[in-house]
A and B are shown apart, each in its own frame.
Chain A
Amino acid sequence: MSGPLLEVRNLRTWFELFRGTVKAVDGIDFTLDTGEILGIVGESGGGKSVTGFSILGLIDPPGRIAGGEVLFRGEDLLKKSEDEMRRIRGREISMVFQDPMTSLNPLQTIGRQIDEMLVLHTPLSPAGRRARTLELLDDVGIPTPEDRLDCYPHQFSGGMRQRVVIAIALAATPRLIIADEPTTALDVTVQAQILALMERLVKRSGSALILITHDLAVVSEMTHRVAVMYCGKMVEEAPTRELIARPHHPYTKGLLGSIPRMAGPRVRRLPQISGMVPSLFDLPKGCSFAPRCSFAAGRCFEEIPEMRVVAPGRKVACHSPVGAEEGETKRAR
């Protein structure tokens, strides 16, 4: 099979509400290769989660997919029937949700919830499924899995539940895993463990991973490439290291600036992005970021910037990208 594993083209997911149409995702493009880890970052409300749900076809009214293509192994998922999508969900693409406290069925045992995935997507016998369930629980680091099969979710801590959720997501060895803020709801000490676990398991299984997060620190440690979203649009995409080292979009620069650093010169106060995320009902006419951008000029308020390639593998949607003069980028490479 040639070509990328996943290619999203001009995806638009809109929500029709009384106050108007919310363009939660408005024309985003990205690609993902087998085994690659892509980070999607941005502030909350930027359309990251909706992107994940759109790929799996889990958008409910008043939301709808207004256009675009989601090509998975060359086939457009948006054209598939609900029945066909059901066979893809879990088996080909699985998802890890933000809050492990609410993503497991409170009235079913852990064992049964993993087993359900195996029944749906594998030809294993009951004994085989039990063995696989124990193996999965062991993989995600749950001690004495035999004793845990008949436990209910409320008997587990948040971190343990997220491990179970990951075990479920991995059960049918999917080609792609979408993790939507997998560690946001967890204690800081547990976050690092869960991320390390995910990275190890994803690498071992050869799956690709889309890591949706608002936390650039998480992205910098795990991902190969990063796409930055702001108000439903992609504003920058680049290999992780380059993005961290030389952000082109003022918004990315702002996000990076607000991370505390251990090394480097001491700053008296962490810089922050001024202003607030605009209301999605009432986006500015030009670049959505213009009202908060210290580099914005006249054109930024009039014209929406297009995503354009500024260097191999680097794309940015900005009229006056920071430090992205053609020569400098070339020299850097």
Chain B
Amino acid sequence: MLTYLLKRVFQMFVVLFMVSVIVFCVMSFTGDPVLMIVPPTATDAQIAEARVALGLDRPLWDQYAVFLRNLLHGNLGVSYMFKRPALTLIVERMPATLELVFLSIVISLAIALPCGVFAGARPNNALSRAIMGGSLLGISLPSFWVGILLIFYFAVEKGFLPSSGRGTTGTLFGIPFAFLTWDGFKHIILPAFTLALGTLAMLIRLIRAQIMEVMRQDFIRFARAKGVTWRSLLFSHALKNALVPVVTVFGLQVGSLIAFATVTETIFAWPGMGKLLVDSINTSDRPVIVAYLMIVAAMFVAINFIVDIVYTMIDPRVDLR
């Protein structure tokens, strides 16, 4: 168990190291950040001075060494736009993104589990067919377009839900959260639903396919031969077996929610780290982009690790090596 954990932690650092190299190289080959921060009227001498001040005149590997040393000290550079540490900017905006992602997970699971199980248990039922048609439509929808439709209907036409921003926030453990106030909740509901839609539709399809696959297996038939009721067949025999693979995909889905939060936050002007990323891309604010990618990569690696642990807990056949 301990060796397994150590091995995994080591692997996680290897992956993060590779990500840092790739991110650093790709970002170094593109654009000239110096031109972004000097005033347009700057002379060549001033530009050269700024280049030296940023350390951009040194060889690439040297720049990377500095970057890595700073990274290990928690220093991810200073934003060109905000003139503040990039890490601070992201950490400040992280709660907004995390609450959005969390609420989306809750919405997706609350809808996808019953719908997926039902559609898998009664595949020929008319309602199941409707669920499947709806979910296929759901994975075909561009999420930004759904956001626009929701804004247009609920904010522009009806005017009873706000179209942008986070509203009033309440405080929990010293961290501001929107869902703690009624006003904040009204602000979060549209973006959370928009973000949830794709994951929700995908999970319905996955859960249904898994249930159908498990229901075909021999041990289900054997359980039927034991005289097990249909309900117990579904919930105590099929469901858990069907959910084992869903857990793996769910981990990936959480990562994908964080990624797609960039889009949702941009539409709804939600002040999270995703919107910060898109804004930074548009202003070529390199330190913020790099910091975002490193932090998100660390989050994904951590999520994968948690998923593996959960996997071994629900499936006795999997052994920690």
Chain A contact residues, CB within 8 Å of chain B:
56, 58, 82, 86-91, 94-95, 97, 99, 102-108, 116-117, 120-121, 152, 154, 165, 168
Contacts and interface: CB of A to CB of B under 8 A. Distances in A.
Nearest to A93: B225
Nearest to A104: B219
Nearest to B314: A107
B83 interface: no
A89 B224 contact: yes
B213 interface: no
Contacts of A102: 217-219
B240 interface: yes
Nearest to B219: A105
Interface in B224-269: 224-230, 237, 240-241, 244
B226 A116 contact: yes
Interface of B is mostly: helix
B116 to A, nearest CB: 18
Given A103-B218, A103-B222, A104-B222, A88 B227 contact: yes
Contacts of B230: 82
Contacts of A168: 226
A90 B227 contact: yes
21 contacts: A58-B221, A58-B224, A86-B227, A86-B228, A89-B224, A90-B225, A90-B226, A94-B225, A94-B226, A95-B222, A97-B221, A97-B225, A103-B218, A104-B219, A105-B241, A106-B317, A107-B241, A107-B314, A117-B226, A152-B316, A168-B226
Nearest to A178: B225
B315 interface: yes
B15 interface: no
A107 B227 contact: no
B218 to A, nearest CB: 4
B66 interface: no
B5 interface: no
Contacts of B219: 102-106
Contacts of A88: 227
A99 B219 CA distance: 10
Contacts of B221: 58, 97, 103
Contacts of B317: 106, 152, 154
Contacts of B316: 106-107, 152, 154
Contact of B218 (A87, A91, A94, A97): A97
Nearest to A101: B218
A168 to B, nearest CB: 7
Contacts of B237: 105, 108
Contacts of A56: 225
B302 interface: no
B232 to A, nearest CB: 8
Interface in B126-147: none
Nearest to A98: B218
Contacts of A94: 225-226
A18 to B, nearest CB: 17
Contacts of B222: 95, 97, 103-104, 165
Nearest to B222: A103
A61 to B, nearest CB: 8
Nearest to A94: B225
Contacts of B156: none
Contacts of B244: 107
Q: Which of A89, A97, A106, A107: most chain B CB closer than 10 A?
A: A107
Interface string B72-84: 0000000000000
Interface in B268-321: 314-317
A207 B54 CA distance: 88
Q: Which of B221, B226, B228: most chain A CB closer than 10 A?
A: B226
Nearest to A61: B124
Contacts of B241: 105-107
A90 B223 CA distance: 9
Contacts of A95: 222, 225
A121 B229 CA distance: 12
A293 B224 CA distance: 40
Contacts of A108: 237
Q: Which of B223, B225, B229, B316: most chain A CB closer than 10 A?
A: B225
A103 B225 CA distance: 11
Contacts of A117: 226-227
Given A89-B225, A107-B244, 11 more contacts: A82-B230, A89-B227, A91-B227, A95-B222, A95-B225, A103-B221, A104-B219, A106-B315, A107-B241, A121-B227, A154-B316
Interface string B201-223: 00000000000000001110111
A56 B221 CA distance: 11
B220 to A, nearest CB: 8
A116 B237 CA distance: 11
A108 B230 CA distance: 17
B13 to A, nearest CB: 33
B36 to A, nearest CB: 56
A140 B10 CA distance: 47
Q: Across the A-B interface, give the 8 residue pairs with the lowest CB-CB distance, nearest first.
A: A90-B227, A102-B218, A89-B227, A103-B222, A95-B225, A152-B316, A90-B226, A105-B219
Given A105-B237, A107-B240, A152-B316, A120 B218 contact: no
A99 B223 CA distance: 14
Contacts of A154: 316-317
Nearest to B239: A107
B145 to A, nearest CB: 40
A120 B225 contact: no
A120 B219 CA distance: 17
A26 to B, nearest CB: 23
Contacts of A152: 316-317
A120 B315 contact: no
B240 A89 contact: no
Q: Which of B230, B237, B240, B316: most chain A CB closer than 10 A?
A: B316
Contacts of A97: 218, 221-222, 225
Interface string B53-79: 000000000000000000000000000
